[in-house]
Amino acid sequence: MAWLFLGAAIAFEVAATSLLKSTAGFTRLGPTLACLAGYAGSFYLLSLALRQLQVGVAYAIWSGLGTAAIAVIGALFLAEPITVAKVTGIVLIIAGVVILNVAGAH
């Protein structure tokens, strides 16, 4: 169940971060409330996941996969350029998450 909470926490964080630009510096009420609700939900779900998962592993997965997902969303939907450096960074993030997850299992 902890992994389900962690996956949902990542989804909420990615949704909130995706909305961040549309808040226009927190001057638009609707996107701002949705963004803040997404972050609140993300932290709540992360706290539930931490009941069973190690903090270092859970946080690495939460932040790493969230960062990688936002980079992909930026490239696909926000017309941000895809560079070799970005792709390499995403691959390294995912590799790091896998290594931490495997190391945390022992």
Per-residue model confidence as pLDDT tens digits over 47-99: 999 999 989 889 888 988 898 899 889 989 888 898 999 899 888 988 888 88
State the residue range of the domain holding 63. Answer: 2-104
* 105 pLDDT more than 90: no
* 106 pLDDT more than 70: no
3-state helix, strand, coil in the chain (%, to 5): 80, 0, 20
Cα dihedral 100, 103, 98, 4 sign: negative
Of 20, 26, 11, 9, the C-alpha closest to 78 is 20
Note the pLDDT of residue 13. Answer: 97
Number of domains comprising the chain: 1
Q: Is 36 exposed, middle or buried (0-12, 13-18, 19+ CB in 10 A)?
A: middle
| pLDDT, tens digit (0-9, with 9 covering 90-100), for 11-35 | 999 999 999 999 999 999 999 999 9
Q: How far apart are CA 62 and CA 17, in angstroms?
A: 13
Report residue 100's pLDDT band, with 50, 70 and 90 as the boundaries. confident
Listed in sequence order, the residues at least 6 apart from 82 whose beta carbon sits closer than 8 Å to its beta carbon are: 75
* 104 pLDDT more than 70: no
